[in-house]
Amino acid sequence: MTNNNFESSAFESSAIVEVNSQTSDIVETEMVGETDEVKQATKSLIEAIKKRAQAEAESAGTLTRDTYLNAVRQAKEAIEGEKLIERDKLENAWKTIQEETEKNWHSLFHELSTLGDRLQDAAKAAWDTFHAPRA
């Protein structure tokens, strides 16, 4: 089976995968703060990859050791690449939020400062009018 077939079948399958306690413990430790849905999807993906790797390794003559190691390396790189892409998207979104927040804060501060100046001018004008000599 080619690498492309592995990718499409592994990620499009909706089969229920039994997750062992070791995988569950690792995911729970490494993915603190993620939603249960993300954790469960990760656990299922890891188990599917493990089962696929075991099946490929056990089928004598199907894969040589080097081919097997290459397939595992490519799968790892693909997964890590996805993590980097997601991390970059999150970092860019966070940077945009910070920039917008700072811009809005400066705008709000300027508006409040202007309002304070106008209120002070109005109070001074009212005071001056109140104390002006009457004709």
Tokens of 31: 């993915």
8 domain-assigned: yes
91 domain-assigned: no
Number of folded domains that form the chain: 1
- Return the pLDDT at 13: 47
45 domain-assigned: yes
Q: Is the pLDDT of residue 9 over 50?
A: no
pLDDT digits (tens, 9 = 90+) for 27-61: 888 888 889 888 888 888 888 777 777 776 666 55
d(C-alpha 86, C-alpha 109), whole Å: 34
96 domain-assigned: no
10 domain-assigned: yes
30 domain-assigned: yes
Distances (CA, A) of 34 to 42, 105, 131: 10, 30, 66
d(C-alpha 122, C-alpha 18), whole Å: 73
Q: What is the pTM of this model?
A: 0.37
- Return the pLDDT at 1: 40
Q: Range of 33's domain?
A: 1-63
76 domain-assigned: no
65 or 78: which leads in pLDDT = 78
66: left (phi over 0), alpha (psi -120 to 50) or beta: alpha
Q: Give 64-102 as a DSSP string.
A: -HHHHHHHHHHHHHHHHHHHHHHHHHHHHHHHHHHHHHH
pLDDT digits (tens, 9 = 90+) for 93-133: 888 888 888 888 888 888 888 888 888 888 888 888 877 88
- Return the pLDDT at 30: 83
- Cα four-point dihedral sign 70, 75, 80, 82: positive
108 domain-assigned: no
